[in-house]
Amino acid sequence: MKRPMKKLIGFGALVAVLVLVVARVHANDSLLPVGAAAPEVMGTNAAGATVKLSGQKGHFAVVYFYPKDETAGCTKEACAFRDASDKFIKAGVTIFAVSRDSDASHKGFREHYHLPFPMVADPSGAVQHAYGVPSVMPGLDIAARVTFLVNPDGKIAHVWPKVDPVVNAKEVLDTVAALGGPKP
């Protein structure tokens, strides 16, 4: 390949990366801010019962968005929340896991990893859009990894726009304690 062509390809790749970074930065601008009322979320728990965010008033709740069931990062994050679930229960915090996957996909994911918290199937993206969560890439119907902490009054208390799936559960528990919630 001739040198000018290599430079052009390299420049094109750089432009593509910059477009994705700028799109991601602007997408974070649309996230619900701290203090905003948290939109309703309904999920199904391990017993098959429907759990609503509005039913958690008086307690903290976590609404975490993740890209896809059974993928590496999403499994790590779900298992970290699962492994800390006793601490969340002790602190009175309900966890809602939201993705664009179907109820059937969530059921399999829950059974495979013994996930005890409500899972929210959002195939239309209505919940994702209500919270202002961007897609992982423009044009893809896959939610980015974003976590919201909802305070006992039903308002957003904290937002993690960029989540490390391994430590997110601990960060949330630490923030609940820092905001005066029960110690796990």
Contact present, 77 and 160 (Cβ < 8 Å): no
Q: How high is the pLDDT of residue 87?
A: 96
Catalytic residue among 31, 41, 61, 74: 74
CA distance 133 to 167: 20
By C-alpha distance, which of 136, 160, 132 is closest to 148?
160
DSSP 8-state assignment for residue 27:
H
Q: How high is the pLDDT of residue 7?
A: 53
pLDDT tens-digit readout, 13-64: 433 333 333 334 344 569 999 999 999 999 999 899 999 999 999 999 999 9
CA distance 65 to 68: 9
| Entry pTM | 0.83
Return the ∠ at Cα 122 (arms to 116 and 124), rounded to 5°: 170
What the chain holds in terms of domains, given with CATH numbers, is 31-178 (3.40.30.10)
CA distance 170 to 174: 6
**74 classed as catalytic:** yes
Q: How high is the pLDDT of residue 181?
A: 72
Burial label, 77 (beta-carbon count in 10 A; 0-12, 13-18, 19+):
buried
Q: How high is the pLDDT of residue 180?
A: 85
Which phi and psi angles does 139 have, rounded to 5°? 90, -10
State which residues of the chain have pLDDT below 50: 8, 10-27
